[in-house]
Copies of this chain bind each other. A is one copy, B any other.
Amino acid sequence: MTYCVGLRLEKGLVFMSDTRTNSGVDNISQFKKLFTWAQPGERVITMLTAGNLATTQTVVSLIDERTKAPEDRNPSILEAPSMFDVARQVGAMLRDVIRTASPTGERADSKFDATIILGGQIRGGAPRLFMIYPEGNFLEASEDTPFFQIGETKYGRPIILRAYEPTMSFEEAVKLLFVSFDSTIKANLSVGLPLDLQTYESDSFEIGHQRRVTADDPYYMSVSQGWGDALKSAFNALPDFHF
């Protein structure tokens, strides 16, 4: 399993992913699930992946054009005129990779499935955030649904629903995501530290903050330990029930 979140703020975009992959509980590994392509001053494109690791790694390699000799590589998503076009390209790649791996052509519920969150900005357009499905089609985040989650989404969802504000600073958004990830990590063994974090500030056309958060990160530890007490205080602050 996996847990990744892409958040759209007024100030820009925030991405966070865990790094655990597993095939059964007795075979866990650490892999990056957050990938960025950038042409400073022109475009920044970030991708979060969940699902079959062979599928998502192939999609990343195809975007990187690793089928070509190193000197001929020129990722076409760095040429695409719009984020919408990038989402279409990535969606088509994802669908084709899954189709190739599934001999019967089945896609739904295939074990080769993967889902992608894609966000970024290309000069001339606004920052945009998409969720791409295994079938290659996709949704765009809106004011009504300003964030996407993929992987193990449920444990960490209530706190985002309750505490997200579009006017949040990047720092507040990272704190919110830490709480959401901590709740998930405590409940599901297949989501694990370290976390990858990246921000993108609107109209900056360069990668914002990038950080790998390890299990001994003092701030993460303070959130993880403090949230239990904070939740208990919140719980105690509610009016008491009487039969």
User: CB within 8 Å of B: which residues of A?
Assistant: 154-155, 157-159, 161-163, 170-172, 174-176, 178-179, 183, 186-187, 209, 211, 219, 222-223, 226-228, 230-235, 237-243
Contact = CB atoms under 8 A, between A and B. Distances in A.
A187 B163 contact: no
A231 B174 CA distance: 16
Given A157-B187, A238-B175, A162 B231 contact: yes
For the complex of A and B, 3 pairs with smallest distance between CB atoms = A154-B154, A230-B234, A234-B234
Q: Is the interface of A mostly helix, strand, loop or mixed?
A: helix
B175 A235 contact: yes
Contacts of A172: 240-241
Given A155-B157, A230-B237, 16 more contacts: A154-B155, A154-B187, A155-B155, A158-B187, A159-B231, A161-B187, A171-B240, A172-B241, A175-B235, A211-B243, A219-B239, A219-B241, A226-B237, A227-B234, A230-B238, A234-B234
Nearest to A208: B243
Number of copies: 2
Contacts of A235: 159, 163, 175-176, 179, 230
A186 B159 CA distance: 11
A237 B157 CA distance: 20
Contact of A241 (B174, B232, B233, B240): B174
Nearest to A173: B241
B240 A222 contact: no
B171 A242 contact: yes
23 contacts: A154-B187, A155-B158, A161-B186, A162-B232, A163-B232, A163-B235, A172-B240, A172-B241, A174-B241, A175-B235, A176-B235, A179-B235, A211-B243, A219-B239, A223-B238, A223-B239, A226-B238, A227-B238, A230-B237, A230-B238, A233-B233, A233-B234, A234-B234
